[in-house]
Chain A
Amino acid sequence: MASAQTLNSLVKTYAFDKSTAERLVEAGFTVTSAKSADKKALMAAGFAGNETEEILLKFSKGKRDAAARRGTRKVVVDDRDFESTMVKVETRDPDLLKKDALLGKHLGEGMLPQRIVRKLVDGGLARGFSDAQLKLAADLALEEYNHAKVDATEAAGIVGAQSIGEPGTQMTMRTFHFAGVAEINVTLGLPRLIEIVDARRTPSTPTMRIFLKEKVKGDRAVATKIANQIEMTLLKDIAAVDADLGSLEIKVVPEMERMAEKDISFEDVLAAVNSVRRITATEEKGGKNPKILVKLTEPNFKNLQKAVEDLKKMKVKGIDGITRLVIRRDDDEKGYILFTEGSSLKEILEIPGIDHSRVLTNDIVQIQECLGIEAARQAVMDEAYATLQGQGLTVDRRHLMLVADVMTADGEVKAIGRQGVSGQKSSILARAAFEITVDHLLQAGMIGETDPLQGVAENIIVGQPVNLGTGAVRLAMDTVKLAKLVKTMPTPVSTVPVVVEAPAMSYEGTAAGSAEPEFAEEPEPKEEA
Chain B
Amino acid sequence: MEYTRFEKARIVGARALQLSMGAPPLIETPADVRNPVRVSMLEYEAGAIPLTVKRTASHQVKAS
Please tell me the number of chain A residues within 8 Å of chain B, measured between CB atoms.
37
Residues in A472-492 with C-beta less than 8 Å from chain B: 472-479, 481-482, 485-486, 488-490, 492
Contact (Cβ within 8 A) B48 A475: no
Q: Taking the complex as formed, is A93 at the interface, i.e. its CB lies under 8 A from any CB of chain B?
A: no
B55 proximity list for chain A (CB < 8 A): 152
Question: Apart from A149-B62, A152-B55, A473-B53, what 17 extra A-B contacts exist at CB < 8 Å?
Answer: A77-B58, A79-B57, A82-B57, A152-B4, A152-B6, A152-B59, A473-B11, A475-B10, A475-B11, A475-B54, A476-B53, A478-B50, A478-B52, A485-B26, A486-B26, A489-B26, A492-B25
Pick the residue among A77, A78, A146, A485 that contacts B63 (CB under 8 A).
Answer: A146
Nearest residue, chain A, Cβ from B54: A474
Chain B nearest CB from A398 CB (Å) reads: 15
- Binary interface profile of B, 29-40, with partner A (CB < 8 Å = 1, else 0)? 000001100000
Chain B nearest CB from A409 CB (Å) reads: 15
Dominant secondary structure at the A interface: loop
Contact (Cβ within 8 A) A470 B51: no
Given the complex of chains A and B, what is the CA–CA distance between A151 and B5 in angstroms?
A: 8
Contact (Cβ within 8 A) B57 A80: yes
Contact (Cβ within 8 A) A528 B34: yes
Given the complex of chains A and B, what is the CA–CA distance between A204 and B45 in angstroms?
A: 58
Q: Taking the complex as formed, is A111 at the interface, i.e. its CB lies under 8 A from any CB of chain B?
A: yes
A149 proximity list for chain B (CB < 8 A): 62
Given the complex of chains A and B, what is the CA–CA distance between A287 and B26 in angstroms?
A: 111
Contact (Cβ within 8 A) B56 A489: no
Q: Taking the complex as formed, is A469 at the interface, i.e. its CB lies under 8 A from any CB of chain B?
A: yes
Given the complex of chains A and B, what is the CA–CA distance between A153 and B61 in angstroms?
A: 9
Contact (Cβ within 8 A) B14 A475: yes
Please tell me the number of chain B residues within 8 Å of chain A, measured between CB atoms.
32
B9 proximity list for chain A (CB < 8 A): 470
Chain B nearest CB from A79 CB (Å) reads: 5
Q: Which of B11, B13, B55, B56 has the most CB of A within 10 A?
A: B56
CB-based closest 6 A-B pairs:
A482-B50, A151-B4, A473-B10, A481-B50, A492-B24, A80-B57
Given the complex of chains A and B, what is the CA–CA distance between A492 and B25 in angstroms?
A: 8
Contact (Cβ within 8 A) A490 B63: no
Q: Taking the complex as formed, is A110 at the interface, i.e. its CB lies under 8 A from any CB of chain B?
A: yes
B58 proximity list for chain A (CB < 8 A): 77-79, 152
Q: Taking the complex as formed, is A109 at the interface, i.e. its CB lies under 8 A from any CB of chain B?
A: yes
Given the complex of chains A and B, what is the CA–CA distance between A473 and B61 in angstroms?
A: 12
Contact (Cβ within 8 A) A153 B4: yes
Chain A nearest CB from B27 CB (Å) reads: 7
Chain A residues with a Cβ under 8 A of chain B:
77-82, 84-85, 109-111, 146, 149, 151-154, 469-470, 472-479, 481-482, 485-486, 488-490, 492, 526, 528
Nearest residue, chain A, Cβ from B46: A485
Given the complex of chains A and B, what is the CA–CA distance between A85 and B59 in angstroms?
A: 11
Chain B nearest CB from A488 CB (Å) reads: 8
Nearest residue, chain B, Cβ from A78: B58
Contact (Cβ within 8 A) A469 B26: no
Given contacts A151-B4, A475-B53, contact A489 B25 (CB under 8 A): yes
Contact (Cβ within 8 A) A470 B6: yes
Contact (Cβ within 8 A) B6 A472: yes
Contact (Cβ within 8 A) B6 A476: no
Contact (Cβ within 8 A) A528 B35: yes
Given the complex of chains A and B, what is the CA–CA distance between A110 and B48 in angstroms?
A: 27
Chain B nearest CB from A494 CB (Å) reads: 10
A80 proximity list for chain B (CB < 8 A): 57
Chain B nearest CB from A484 CB (Å) reads: 8
Given the complex of chains A and B, what is the CA–CA distance between A80 and B58 in angstroms?
A: 8
16 contacts between A and B (CB under 8 A): A82-B57, A109-B63, A109-B64, A472-B6, A473-B10, A475-B51, A475-B52, A478-B50, A479-B50, A481-B52, A482-B50, A485-B48, A489-B26, A490-B28, A526-B34, A528-B35
Contact (Cβ within 8 A) A477 B50: yes
Nearest residue, chain A, Cβ from B37: A528
Contact (Cβ within 8 A) B51 A478: yes
Given the complex of chains A and B, what is the CA–CA distance between A152 and B54 in angstroms?
A: 13
Given the complex of chains A and B, what is the CA–CA distance between A528 and B35 in angstroms?
A: 7
A526 proximity list for chain B (CB < 8 A): 34
Given the complex of chains A and B, what is the CA–CA distance between A476 and B52 in angstroms?
A: 5
Nearest residue, chain A, Cβ from B35: A528
B34 proximity list for chain A (CB < 8 A): 526, 528
Nearest residue, chain B, Cβ from A149: B62
Chain B nearest CB from A522 CB (Å) reads: 15
A477 proximity list for chain B (CB < 8 A): 50-52
Contact (Cβ within 8 A) A152 B60: yes
B5 proximity list for chain A (CB < 8 A): 151
Nearest residue, chain B, Cβ from A486: B26
